Structure 1
Amino acid sequence: MKATLTYQGVNYTIDFSQPIDLSIPLVNSDANPIAWYLAAPVIAPVTIGDWVGKVDSGHSSTNFNTVVFNPHAHGTHTECLGHITKEFYSVSESLKSYMFLAQVISVDPEVQMDGDRIITRKQLEALWVDYGQNAIVIRTLPNTIDKKSRKYSHTNPPYLVSEAAVFLREKGIEHLLIDLPSVDKEKDDGRLLAHKAFWNVKDVNDLNEDARLNATITEMIYVADEVVDGLYILNLQITALVNDASPSKPILYKIVK
């Protein structure tokens, strides 16, 4: 099914029958990616006395599972500036619309003398094409399939330097998506420089008036190799969860005209 969307006065025709799912499913096994030093998520049937909420147990007419997980550690999630501020902000209140014009780019992080792998402003500037986009999807290279099940704790994954985040903010990017567990360095003594730069948060204890309340960061996506760099329509789906972050399901659609 094809449809035409209008964004900033330009018509874009997309095919809704060919969605490109960037999310990593939450599973109760070693296939689940994990970050931030937590154990695997748990998906298990409710047990009350001798009753087990599982059809094949012979005790229940329905499957009735409890799910225990952390949005930041266990898969694709979208977060708002409430992730780093003293005052509470919910991503379900921050994200007001769900369809965006997005550029997909592939970046090979630069290796530093200390072994850190960083995404720089210069790299983003070289890949930037001005489509009037308000979302960007960053695929890091090499793009191995084990990103979908990687155990990130204590591995010092690549990250954005603050100047790169400033560049995206200056270009009007409101929704940043990346295939890493964080836009910041894993162990940075709580500085969170890229988060702060992207959201324009100057003081986490006393939020400045020009902080970007409606901007979001989506982490731990997976962009398959067959998805070519370029312009897409993004549908960013989250759950109705009153929290700084929510599990999310970002979907890309190719522009066919």
Structure 2
Amino acid sequence: MKATITYGERTYKADLSEPIDISIPLRGGNGNVTAWYLPPPVISPVREGDFTGSVAEGGAVNFNTVAFNPHAHGTHTECMGHITAEFYSVNAALKQFFAMAELITVAPGKLGGDFVISEKQLRNALREKPPEAVVIRTLPNDDEKLSRQYSHTNPPYLTEAAAVCLREAGVKHLLIDLPSVDKEKDGGKL
């Protein structure tokens, strides 16, 4: 299936039968990504009376309960509700659901005892006028990223200047392959 998309004054063609999956999938057990000191997600069959939601255990269908934390266990989307007293839904916060995105690749650089994504790295990687959405892929980008245990590792994060750079460039949606854009332990400075 092929699509032609007009965005601004440019036309793009996409082969929708060959998508590129950049998500980190959710799996139950120790092979899943974890962060923020949480145990791995749990995926277990529903059991109610004589019903078992597991074909492997003799049930007619697989019917699972999934317990996970989006911040700790894989690809997730955030909005202002992450830092406000009130609950906000990403779905309610979005005004449009499709956006042109630019994928950039950066190798976090050493700053003191940390690895960070800096304003300079973003300015070097981004086009002069980036689209509303930016996807940051960090290096190394290997299969280990799909099961990395981030807790207590001080994963790379964005410097404050890098975050300001994105905001000033008009970026409204930021996707990143790290547990957070913030430092793991920042003493509450978020």
The answer on whether the counterparts of 2:130 and 2:171 sit within 8 Å (CA) in structure 1 is: no
The equivalent of 1:9 in structure 2 is 9
The equivalent of 1:83 in structure 2 is 82
- Structure 1 unaligned segments of length 5 or more: list them: 193-257
**d(CA) in 2 for partners of 1:162, 1:36:** 21
**d(CA) in 1 for partners of 2:82, 2:147:** 24
Confirm or deny that 1:189 pairs with 2:187: yes
**d(CA) in 1 for partners of 2:54, 2:103:** 42
The equivalent of 1:27 in structure 2 is 27
Per-residue CA deviations over 1:143-188 (Å, capped at 9, x if unaligned) read 2321110010000001001110111111111111111100010001
Tell me which moved more, 91-100 or 70-79: 91-100
Q: TM-score, normalised by structure 1?
A: 0.70
**d(CA) in 2 for partners of 1:50, 1:102:** 49
Confirm or deny that 1:173 pairs with 2:171: yes
Per-residue CA deviations over 1:211-237 (Å, capped at 9, x if unaligned) read xxxxxxxxxxxxxxxxxxxxxxxxxxx
Per-residue CA deviations over 1:57-96 (Å, capped at 9, x if unaligned) read 23x3222211111111111000101011112211111123
RMSD: 1.5
Letter in 1 for 2:122: L
Letter in 1 for 2:43: I
Letter in 1 for 2:94: L
Letter in 2 for 1:97: Q
Q: Taking every aligned residue pair, what percent have the same amino acid on both sides?
A: 59
The equivalent of 1:163 in structure 2 is 161
The equivalent of 1:52 in structure 2 is 52
Q: TM-score, normalised by structure 2?
A: 0.93
**Compared CA separation, residues 149 and 178, structure 1 to 2 (3 A):** same
The answer on whether the counterparts of 2:102 and 2:130 sit within 8 Å (CA) in structure 1 is: no
Per-residue CA deviations over 1:81-137 (Å, capped at 9, x if unaligned) read 101111221111112323221111111212122x10111111111112135511111
Aligned pair partner of 2:152 in 151, 154, 157: 154
- How far 1:8 moved relative to its partner? 1.9
**d(CA) in 2 for partners of 1:41, 1:185:** 23
**Compared CA separation, residues 132 and 155, structure 1 to 2 (3 A):** closer
**d(CA) in 1 for partners of 2:57, 2:87:** 42
Structure having greater relative contact order (Cα 8 Å, sep ≥ 6): 1
**d(CA) in 2 for partners of 1:111, 1:56:** 48
- How far 1:50 moved relative to its partner? 4.8
Per-residue CA deviations over 1:169-209 (Å, capped at 9, x if unaligned) read 111111111111000100012222xxxxxxxxxxxxxxxxx
Letter in 2 for 1:7: Y
SS in 1 for 2:77: strand
**d(CA) in 1 for partners of 2:107, 2:141:** 9
SS in 2 for 1:183: coil
- Aligned length in residues: 190
User: Within 5 A, what are the aligned runs for 1:241-256?
Assistant: none
Confirm or deny that 1:66 pairs with 2:28: no
**Compared CA separation, residues 161 and 127, structure 1 to 2 (3 A):** same
- Structure 2 unaligned segments of length 5 or more: list them: none
The answer on whether the counterparts of 2:129 and 2:169 sit within 8 Å (CA) in structure 1 is: no
